[in-house]
Amino acid sequence: MEEKIFIKDIIKNITIIDTFFLTNVESLEKAINSFSKAIESTWEKNSKIINISRHSKSWWNINCSRDLEKYRSTRSLVDWKQFKKTVKSTKCLVFDQKIQEILNKARELWELINWVKKRNLPAVEAIKYNNCPFLEINNFWHALHSTFNLAQNYQVDVDILEEIPDKSSEEWPPFSKEEFMKAINKCNNLSTPEPDRLS
C-alpha cells in the first residue's frame, strides 16, 4: 500500500514538469533538476525511519500502531478487539498482495508454497526400453536383466587370448627401509589392504 502511494505521488509530480520547450541545454538542465527535486520531495514525504528488531513484522503499519497505542492508554476490551481486528485485516491485505504479485510474475501456484516444489517423475518412468516407458519396477528390472545378460548363454572362443603376446616379468626395484616407512606413513591407519596385500 505504501509503495503504491509512493509511486502515485512520483507520477503526479513528474507529470507537472514542463517538457514542451526543451530547445537548449539550459531548458534540459532545468527539467532534469525539476525531476530530481520531484523524486527527492516524494521520497522525503513517504519515507520514514524504521527500527528493525526481532519483533518487527513486515505487515505492520500505521493503523496497527495507532490502535495499539489507543488500547495501551485505555486498556478497554473494545479497543483490544479493535486492535486485533486491525491486525488481522492488515495481515490479510499484505499477504493477499504478495500472493497476487507471485501470480502475476510467475503464473505458477507452486511458488506460493516454499516447501512444495514440482516433482520430477521417478527415474524408472523416464527410462525407455524398446521405445516403451517403464511404468512398474518389474519392467525396469526386466530391461536391466535383458540388457546386461545378453551374452550369458553365448559361446565364447577363448583361443583369442592366445594371440595376446606375453610380457616378461619385471623385478621390484630396490628400496630402503626408510623409503618403505615413509610410504607407509602416508596411508590411513583405519584402512585395510586389498586382497593383493599391497594396495
- Report how far residue 133's alpha carbon sits from residue 122's, in angstroms, rounded to the nearest whole number: 11
**Count of domains in the chain?**
3
Q: How do residues 34-72 score in pLDDT, each as one tens digit?
A: 888 888 888 877 776 665 555 667 778 888 888 988 998
State the Cα–Cα distance between residues 79 and 188, nearest whole angstrom: 72
Is 1 contained in some domain? yes
Give the 3-state secondary structure of residue 102.
helix
| 108-159 per-position pLDDT tens digit | 556 556 555 566 655 545 567 777 776 777 777 777 777 777 666 777 777 8
Clarify whether residues 92 and 69 are in a common domain.
yes
Supply the range of the domain harboring residue 40.
1-47
